[in-house]
Amino acid sequence: MAENIRSLTHILLPKTQSVFDYQRRKLNMGDNPKLPNIPHRDQSSHGQKLLSDLQAIYKSNKNEHLPQTAIITFQGEAGKDFLYESLDNKPLKIKLLSLKETIENGEIIFTANVQFFDKTSFEKFSKILQDYIDNNLNKTSGSRKRTIECTSSISNASLENLFFDDSSLFPKDDEKVMWWELMLDGEISNNFINLATELKIQHDAGFKVSEDRSVVLVKANTAQLSELRKKYPYIAEIRVYKKIVPRSVIDFSREEQEELKNDILSRTNHVKDTNTSIVIFDSGINQGHPLIEPFLHEEDNKSYKAEWGAFDHIDEEYAHGTGMSGLVLYGNINDLADKSEEIKISTTLKGVKIFNPDDENDISSYSLVTQKAFEISKCEKNKAYVVAVTSDHEHNGKPSEWSNGSVLNSVSNPFPRLNAISAYL
């Protein structure tokens, strides 16, 4: 039977995919695209309002000596369709940069961010609005008329108009500095770099994502970003930069952990003649761990009781001292997994095992144990002590026999010189 199964051929499923050309999405046209849900307007008053909006924008930009190129936001009516196709028009010298939808009071509101290239763009669109007011739009301009009737207001594009993330992520504090992701129309020009430098905005090199779009990360507050938007009217979309959180190295496979270990060791620069040492009082240290071995000599790994051995406990519940050793040397190991920079470590390790759960009942005073650990460590270098073990009883912040005895009454009294990384957590 088994041999018959082995002789069978694989089952192949041909033609399981299809390829289609990209098509721009038609937004909210309803069940019948011939009958869009658009507002009914009084042409004279509505057209005059939009014309006044557009003229005010042009005048304001001119008074502020801003570039003639500008991004103008056309906002739709709540709960109504928005026919935006005529806002992308080369003869009119206008370009649709981005289309956004938000929900307010349960109703969808569409906004279109449109690039006006120069003074001619304003003049031509003003002429269209005037023709709409005078009812002089010819029959071939039906799409323009519907776009005007879909539009409730025209304004200079603000950061909020260009913000395409959840609105709750937009900072309320203008001075809060954070990383942003900018989608730019066109390439990342020298003009952008010069303006970012002028406004003291940190940025990365960015990259091109399509023929007409680039992405760049910038570090700025909203005040700086607002100034950049005014002087560089090619920002199509803004989002909060979301750092990708890698999975923990604990979840890595054995092969992945081995690869990461080799990578870290290849990047680690150990300053051999350092005069600084970190002394760890804990559950022991596994000196043979490849990331720890270069920094911990066997003779410097000791124990309160010789019969305990200086090694850490194999049981994961108690394997603590080795983990603390890695933490003080490398920090969070997850942060090294996606980096390539040199790791410079200018310290050595020493360890004294003061905790053994298998022999805990034989210990009457951790004050005496800790004092003895100071004597055993015999560290002549500049030193920092790590005591990241604690009792399982609540002291409500009151001093214990352990803290009083080992700290205040220590025979060697090392604590006036102590730079403690972590104590009594």
pLDDT digits (tens, 9 = 90+) for 194-223: 999 999 999 888 888 888 889 998 999 999
| Whether the predicted pLDDT of 414 surpasses 50 | no
C-alpha–C-alpha distance, residues 152 and 313, integer Å: 71
Q: Which residue did the predictor score with more confidence, 276 or 359?
A: 276
CB 156 within 8 A of CB 73: yes
Query: What confidence score (pLDDT) does residue 26 get?
Result: 54
Q: In which band, very low, low, confident or very high, does the pLDDT at 143 lie, cut at 50, 70 and 90? A: confident
How much is the average pLDDT of 267-288? 88
The answer for residues whose C-beta is within 8 angstroms of residue 204's C-beta and 6 or more apart is 216, 217, 218
**What is the pLDDT at residue 315?**
62
Task: Record the pTM.
Answer: 0.53
Residue 277 buriedness (CB in 10 A; 0-12 / 13-18 / 19+): buried
Q: Which residue has the higher pLDDT, 149 or 2?
A: 149
Q: Which contiguous run of DSSP H or E holds residue 3?
A: helix 2-6
Average pLDDT over every residue of 244-268: 81
% of the chain with per-residue pLDDT over 70: 81
The segment with the largest mean pLDDT, out of 51-60, 328-337, 402-411, is: 51-60
Q: Is the pLDDT of residue 420 over 50?
A: no
70 forms beta bridges with: 116
For residues 336-340, average pLDDT: 77
Among 233, 187, 229, which residue's Cα sits nearest to residue 208?
A: 187
pLDDT band per the 50, 70, 90 thresholds, residue 10: confident
Q: Can you give the pLDDT at residue 339?
A: 76
The answer for residues whose C-beta is within 8 angstroms of residue 191's C-beta and 6 or more apart is 232
Sort 102 into a burial class: Cβ within 10 Å, 0-12 / 13-18 / 19+.
middle
List the end-to-end C-alpha distance of the chain, in Å, as a whole number.
Answer: 64
Assign 311 a pLDDT band (cuts: 50, 70, 90): confident
pLDDT(382) > 60: yes
Model confidence at 245: pLDDT above 70: no
Residue 104 in this model has a pLDDT that exceeds 90:
no
Count of CB atoms within 10 A of residue 236's CB?
A: 22
pLDDT tier, 264 (very low <50, low <70, confident <90, very high otherwise): very high
Average pLDDT of the segment spanning 182-191: 91
Tell me the C-alpha to C-alpha distance, in Å, between residue 26 and each of 40, 71, 78, 340: 21, 22, 18, 45
Q: What is the pLDDT of residue 412?
A: 39
Mean pLDDT along residues 142-159: 90
For the chain, give the percent of residues with pLDDT over 90: 36
Regarding predicted confidence, which is higher, 338 or 416?
Answer: 338
DSSP secondary structure of 298-322: GGGEEESSGGG-SSPPSSTTT--HH
Task: Kindly tell me if the per-residue pLDDT of 185 is higher than 80.
Answer: yes
Pick the closest to residue 306 from 372, 255, 364, 365 (CA basis): 372
How far is Cα 340 from Cα 119, in angstroms, rounded to an integer? 49
What's the pLDDT score for residue 318?
A: 53
Q: What is the mean pLDDT of residues 99-103?
A: 89
Mean pLDDT of 171-189: 89
Q: Does residue 269 carry a pLDDT above 70?
A: yes
- Looking at the predicted structure, is the pLDDT value of residue 411 above 90? no
Residue 79: pLDDT above 90? Answer: no
Asked if the model's pLDDT at residue 67 lies above 70, the reply is yes
| Greater pLDDT, 156 or 334 | 156
Q: Does residue 416 surpass a pLDDT of 70?
A: no
DSSP at 18: -
pLDDT confidence band for 165 (50 / 70 / 90): confident
Residue whose tokens read 């961010």: 113
